[in-house]
């Protein structure tokens, strides 16, 4: 038997790389190494990249006008089929790239095989994920705008509502509910900034890096980069095919966003409880209990809080995937997709849920004010008042401490004590003290940028809203 007779025909192995193989790939290995079940999500970006590459090859004289025409039409037809859901994906063809290329060759014949000239799946996949993530980031932008403007509008409506502010979850000082909501907006604003940083850094084209070293064909990387809307081509071919920093960076952004949403969720859950009763969440964001008829469970914020775990997991998965990887491309990188896809889907759903829910939060102003009157939230105001009368802060702290101890024994808030009662602790106290002991007086006095005074909250909300509007 001649050597060539012993060789397995290319049709029994993968057409794209079967040439040097003597036996077909093991069926289990084929399934184990295939990524098409999940990377078909990159199909439209893969075709977009191929169209730009083919166009550039024809400008460079590597493909003829006719060949370009055939490839373009073929790819456009395949894109439409995929869009309609009628495209037949094959695990035997391993991944999205080879499925599409095989379909093209089946359609237009030998010319289809020319598309891969001067390109490798290594720069192809790196290009596809960047294009895909950029599209996804652009879809997250309006979700941020909706949530943030809803939050800011609620803050404006609640600029005068007073609630206890907490440190250590103990009543600390009165704050306005609007101020609390604007604190959330600041977290989201930083998250948005991180997302935009990620977009700016990922927007470079790896196409042309080929397998790892570049290609011998006269390619024009500037042309493909600009056709694909990238700012410029990446600088180094080895780095281009191996870099997944942008996916890690996205997951880092996503983890921080989820951390913030989980903090907001936690507060909403507490506030909606019978013990706080600060807010009411509309029924459509809650569910009941099959056994306890009185229950209205805040499922949406609970689920958002819970989903933080999976996104943190994706960040760690990608960091671990990249740790110690030698240059350049390694198959490990195929594992980048599922965590990234799920991180995108999860933050998108959570932003959407919050965007719907936040404007529908009903504040129970009476319960908030009532809670602020318990716990001696204006104790610092009394201490500051005594400082104003010439007493050293440490001494005034001591005087107020004694007043609070008296209040605990008598079950009275500071504002509920008579002037005579207060004067037991200092003869510097006169009847102007009640201006600072009321909740309204306390918050109004914190009248500077970043302070909780209602006028400051309204001004801060206005600035924040203008900022969000100016972003798009």
Looking at the annotation, which residues are catalytic?
Answer: 168, 289
Task: Indicate which single residue of 116, 119, 121, 314 sits in contact with ligand ARG (rule: CB under 6 A).
Answer: 121
Structure tokens at 134: 């950029």
Q: Interface with ligand ARG includes 35 (CB under 6 A)?
A: yes
Q: Interface with ligand ARG includes 329 (CB under 6 A)?
A: yes
Sorted by sequence, the CB contacts under 8 Å of residue 143 that are 6+ apart come out as 348, 351, 352, 355
Burial 232-246 (b: 16+ CB within 10 A, else e): ebbeebebbbbbbeb
Task: Indicate which single residue of 48, 227, 255, 334 sits in contact with ligand ARG (rule: CB under 6 A).
Answer: 334
Taken in order 336, 337, 341, 344, is the CA torsion positive or negative? positive
From residue 115, how far is each of 51, 54, 233 by CA, in Å? 9, 6, 20
Q: Interface with ligand ARG includes 125 (CB under 6 A)?
A: yes
**Of 36 and 152, which CB lies nearer to ligand ARG in the complex structure?**
36
Interacting span for ligand ARG (CB under 6 A) from 121-129, 291-299, 379-387, 439-447:
121-129
Q: Interface with ligand ARG includes 381 (CB under 6 A)?
A: no
Q: Interface with ligand ARG includes 39 (CB under 6 A)?
A: yes
Interacting span for ligand ARG (CB under 6 A) from 212-220, 280-288, 311-319, 330-338:
330-338
Q: Interface with ligand ARG includes 191 (CB under 6 A)?
A: no
What is the x/- site pattern for ligand ARG, positions 69-108, by CB under 6 A?
--------------------------x-------------
Backbone phi, then psi, for 162, in 5-degree steps? -110, 135
Q: Interface with ligand ARG includes 333 (CB under 6 A)?
A: yes
Q: Find the shortest distance in angstroms from Cβ 129 to ligand ARG.
A: 8
Q: Interface with ligand ARG includes 328 (CB under 6 A)?
A: no
Q: Interface with ligand ARG includes 244 (CB under 6 A)?
A: no
Task: Indicate which single residue of 122, 203, 205, 224 sits in contact with ligand ARG (rule: CB under 6 A).
Answer: 122
Evaluate whether 314 touches 337 at the Cβ level (below 8 Å): no
Instruction: Give the interface with ligand ARG as residue ranges (CB under 6 A).
Output: 35, 39, 95, 121-122, 125, 329, 331, 333-334
């Amino acid at each position: 038997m001649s050597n060539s007779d012993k060789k397995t025909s290319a049709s029994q192995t993968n057409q794209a790389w079967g040439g040097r193989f003597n036996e077909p790939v093991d069926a289990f290995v084929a399934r184990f190494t295939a990524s098409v079940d999940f990377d078909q999500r990159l199909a439209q970006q893969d075709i977009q990249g191929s169209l730009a590459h083919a166009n550039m090859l024809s400008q460079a004289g590597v493909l003829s006008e006719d060949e370009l025409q055939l490839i373009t039409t073929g790819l456009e037809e395949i894109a439409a089929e995929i869009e309609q859901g009628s495209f037949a994906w094959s695990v035997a063809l391993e991944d999205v790239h080879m499925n599409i290329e095989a379909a093209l060759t089946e359609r237009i014949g030998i010319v289809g095989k020319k598309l891969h000239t001067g390109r490798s799946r290594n720069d192809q996949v790196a290009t596809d994920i960047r294009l895909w993530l950029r599209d996804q980031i652009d879809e997250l932008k309006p979700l941020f705008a909706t949530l943030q403007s809803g939050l800011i509008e609620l803050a404006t409506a609640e600029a005068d509502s007073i609630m206890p502010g907490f440190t250590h979850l103990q009543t600390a000082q009165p704050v306005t509910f609007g101020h609390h909501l604007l604190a959330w907006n600041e977290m989201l604003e930083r998250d948005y900034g991180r997302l935009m940083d990620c977009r700016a850094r990922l927007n470079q084209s790896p196409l042309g890096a080929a397998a790892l070293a570049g290609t011998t064909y006269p390619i024009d990387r500037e042309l493909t980069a600009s056709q694909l809307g990238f700012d410029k081509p990446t600088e180094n071919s080895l780095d281009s095919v191996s870099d997944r920093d942008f996916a890690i960076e996205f997951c880092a952004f996503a983890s921080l966003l989820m951390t913030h949403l989980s903090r907001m969720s936690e507060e909403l859950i507490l506030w909606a409880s019978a013990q706080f009763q600060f807010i009411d969440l509309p029924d459509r964001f809650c569910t009941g209990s099959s056994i306890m008829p009185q229950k209205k469970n805040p499922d949406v914020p609970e689920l958002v809080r819970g989903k933080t775990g999976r996104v943190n997991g994706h960040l760690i998965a990608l960091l671990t995937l990249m740790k110690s990887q030698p240059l350049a491309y390694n198959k490990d990188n195929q594992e980048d997709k599922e965590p990234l896809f799920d991180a995108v889907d999860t933050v998108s759903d959570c932003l959407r849920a919050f965007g719907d829910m936040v404007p529908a939060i009903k504040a129970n102003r009476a319960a908030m004010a009532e809670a602020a009157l318990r716990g001696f939230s204006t104790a610092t105001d009394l201490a500051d008042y005594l400082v104003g009368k010439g007493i050293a802060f440490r001494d005034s702290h001591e005087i107020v401490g004694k007043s609070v101890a008296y209040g605990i024994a008598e079950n009275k808030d500071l504002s509920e004590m008579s002037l005579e009662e207060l004067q037991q602790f200092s003869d510097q106290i006169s009847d102007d003290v009640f201006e600072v002991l009321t909740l309204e007086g306390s918050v109004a006095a914190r009248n500077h940028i970043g302070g909780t005074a209602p006028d400051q909250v309204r001004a801060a909300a206005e600035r924040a809203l203008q900022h969000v509007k100016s972003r798009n």
